[in-house]
Chain A
């Protein structure tokens, strides 16, 4: 920062002649800037409200798309692992007359069963939705629900009342959590790039690339035989589950039920894991639950966690990297082609 000399004749003259004018300009300018910011927040209030939570941000981004055919819900494993654009491009190439398809990845890190149920209810009424793909995994089932809203206590002190009053009148204050460093990165996605994004783009560079119309490169050296998931079919025999798992299976079946009632095809999938990833309940203890979800919901469960995949496709033991995303997206598309088939 360049500080002007306060000893020079010019500085002395400046500070001596116009201190009042300078004070007025400073205060008026500051108030004008704050008013402009307040206007921006007020004008985009729903987006600023959404920026305070990962799930709400994803939901708000989805709502910037007038039509979505294929929707993915899940945790960071799905967020990192599925490129809806690659899925739809593969489907468009594979199907005879699929038309233009639009996909969206509404998965977010830390998703829980509660969050899944909330988002699923919120999106159930969207027109045009054809396929809903829901991740099943240990974190999706086991995460504690993130706080959606902090329950407000009645104001007890003058300070509480002042805070409440200010928050009610000033949007900058009401939505101030949107400006927290962790949330600030969501604002460009919500305010600028939203309609161009398909949900997997968490990095600013990916968001700018999508906004500029750049497409992700498709998988190279894709081996369809390697990507055949194990299937849990709806007709499988009933499993005995522990109480908690039983409740989870029922909730998942209910979620699938909303959508099936609206004519949407629902599938569950278990994202790939690195072979060395341990412990991986998806490969053993959760299998009865997956089978039961398939049976109760009447939807298939595609298990990619049991596959033996090259470690190079992952950026950590439970999350796919860029190349892995391309492969998995293609594999999902191939599996989904049957769901979109009019037969």
Chain B
């Protein structure tokens, strides 16, 4: 089920009413769990069994760790969870590459391509449970004794499919006791949902039309068309995922839960390291805590750890070589940044900071080509149009330039309203104006029903 559908809002309204009407915590969590299963199964109902199986398995392993912490159990849990992810997400990719290698050797053999579907959000919930198992092993959290609470932690629809990747130590305690209705949090939640929906429908879906057109046949683009198509994609991706994450935080707030914000104006970063502290924050933290640091972090083989972590991050986003190159490219850039000489005071002047932001943004945009291109050939064609002569000009559509400029400028004040109690402390007239602006975007541009991009990861 998509957040940007009426069906979802009907389910939300029903769940919300039942949740706050019943006094018992167990009943509330039961409603949440059932709603989450409906939400997840609506797309493809057999996938509910996968979710239930994962919940049962990880709950059992977690409980087993309660008596005696066992590295063997932890490894078993990680291997089992990763095996599912590999089977569903990477088996076709592996089969294709094996077949390609076999064809090079000329054996005439071929590995059959497994006919698997990609369950929604498997990358997210796999990482979430791996984090849980590691945290239990490290005694960061106690194994959750209640199957219902664990099931809600694992399946809560607000964060199930595309994050934020919620840590057990942050979320499980919120499920312990019956929460009192918090009007301030509910107020914030309403705004986050409206704003997130506006970002998705009013920005991402509009920009998607231009980005999709640009990447359909890059060879036909002018240089200017290729750049504007790339800007459209950069902002589409940002608005799409930022919108989704913001809605997720807002939805949780309606139920009285606090989830972490996942974005903090990443295109305003001055360095790539800063970019990753602002883009998909919960994923960056996950990779830092559960891969980079266990590999040795900054203590030993720092550059190799960074390259490996970012390459895996690329592969996590998609089973394809363009994603691997995208991740590797980020790893190389981060490594280069670490070895770059420290910039002088001149680099912190307003003009220099602006230029650094512009450069950073364009660097990130260039790497997005790998992220968006369906194949390396398309990526190469796109780079040829972007960077190689003949440099040709075509006037971009007004709608696109207006949208890009508006979005580029408005992202900062918009992001400011998401933080803490900022929206609620605005004058009511400003709150109504902002809410009406979001409703306007939803009302006018709704109907495309474009999937959230991160549902594919």
Interface residues of A (CB under 8 A from B): 1, 3-4, 6, 11, 14-15, 19-20, 22-23, 25-27, 29-30, 33-34, 158-159, 162-163, 166, 172-173, 176-177, 179-181
| Majority-rule SS of B interface residues | helix
Q: For the complex formed, measure the closest distance between the CB of A218 and the CB atoms of chain B, giving whole angstroms.
A: 34
Closest to A29 in B: B432
Contact A22 B416 (CB under 8 A): no
Q: How far is the CB of B349 from chain A (nearest CB, A)?
A: 26
B356 at the interface (CB under 8 A from A): no
Given known A23-B183, A26-B190, contact A6–B436 (CB-CB < 8 A)? no
Whether B190 and A15, one on each chain, are in contact in the complex, defined by CB atoms closer than 8 angstroms, is no
Q: Which residues of A contact B444 (CB under 8 A)?
A: 176-177, 179-181
Chain B residues with CB under 8 Å of A34's CB are 436, 439
Nearest B residue to A5, CB-CB: B425
Residues of A near B182 (CB, < 8 A) are: 19
> Is chain A's interface secondary structure helix, strand, loop, or mixed overall?
helix
A-B contact pairs, 13 of them (CB 8 A): A1-B416, A3-B417, A15-B184, A19-B424, A23-B183, A26-B431, A26-B432, A33-B432, A34-B439, A159-B6, A163-B6, A172-B443, A180-B444
Is B422 within 8 A of A179, CB to CB? Answer: no
Query: Measured between alpha carbons, how far is A19 from B184 in the docked complex, in Å?
Result: 5
In the complex, are the beta carbons of B428 and A3 less than 8 A apart?
A: no
Return chain A residues, CB-CB under 8 Å to B421: 6, 11, 15
User: Residues of A contacting B10 with CB < 8 Å?
Assistant: 162
**B425–A3 CB distance below 8 A:** yes
Given contacts A20-B183, A163-B6, contact A30 B432 (CB under 8 A): yes
Closest to B430 in A: A1
| Nearest-Cβ distance from residue B232 to partner chain A, whole angstroms | 17
- B187 contacts the other chain (Cβ, under 8 Å)? yes
A157 to B436, CA, bound (A): 29
CB distance from B240 to the nearest CB of A (A): 20
In the complex the two chains form, what is the Cα distance from A184 to B399 in whole Å? Answer: 14
Task: Tell which of A11, A25, A33 touches B436, judged by Cβ atoms closer than 8 Å.
Answer: A33
CB pair A27–B432 under 8 Å, yes or no, is no
Complex alpha-carbon distance, A101 and B436, angstroms: 44
From B5, B190, B413, B426, give the contact of A159 (CB < 8 A).
B5
Closest 5 CB pairs of A and B: A19-B184, A162-B6, A23-B183, A19-B183, A20-B183
Q: A26 touching B187 by the CB < 8 A rule? A: yes
* B393 lies within 8 A of chain A by Cβ: no
B435 within 8 A of A: yes
B126 CB, min distance to chain A CBs, angstroms: 29
B286 at the interface (CB under 8 A from A): no
Contact A22 B435, CB 8 Å, known A159-B7, A162-B6: no
Judge whether A162 and B425 touch: CB under 8 Å: no
> CB-CB contacts of B133-160 with A at 8 A, as 1s and 0s?
0000000000000000000000000000
Task: Determine whether the beta carbon of A30 is less than 8 Å from that of B7.
Answer: no
Q: Complex formed: what's the CA distance from A11 to B421 in Å? A: 10
Write the chain A residue with the least CB distance to B185.
A19
Determine the distance from Cα of A158 to Cα of B5 in the docked complex, in whole angstroms: 10
Report the bound CA distance from A176 to B444 in whole Å: 6
Assembly CA distance A22 to B427 (angstroms): 10
Contact present for B435 and A30 (CB under 8 Å): yes
Tell me which of B187, B417, B432 contacts A22 (CB under 8 A).
B187
> Interface digits, B1-17 against A, CB 8 Å rule (1 contact, 0 not)?
00001110010000000
Q: How far is the CA of A22 from the CA of B186 in the complex (A)?
A: 11
Residue of B416, B425, B431, B436 near A15 (CB, 8 A) is: B425
- The reply on B45 being an interface residue by CB < 8 A is no
Q: Does B100 contact A (CB under 8 A)?
A: no
Q: A6-B425, A158-B7, A162-B6 are in contact. Are A23 and B443 (CB under 8 A)?
A: no
B440 interface residue per 8 A CB criterion: yes
- B419-457 contact mask (Cβ, 8 Å, vs A): 1 or 0: 011101111101110011001100110100100000000
Shortest distance from the beta carbon of A187 to any chain B beta carbon, whole Å: 13
B residues less than 8 Å from A3 (CB atoms): 416-417, 422, 425-426
Taking the closest CB of chain A, its distance from the CB of B5, in whole angstroms, is 5
Residue from B413, B420, B430, B443 within 8 A of A6 (CB atoms): B420
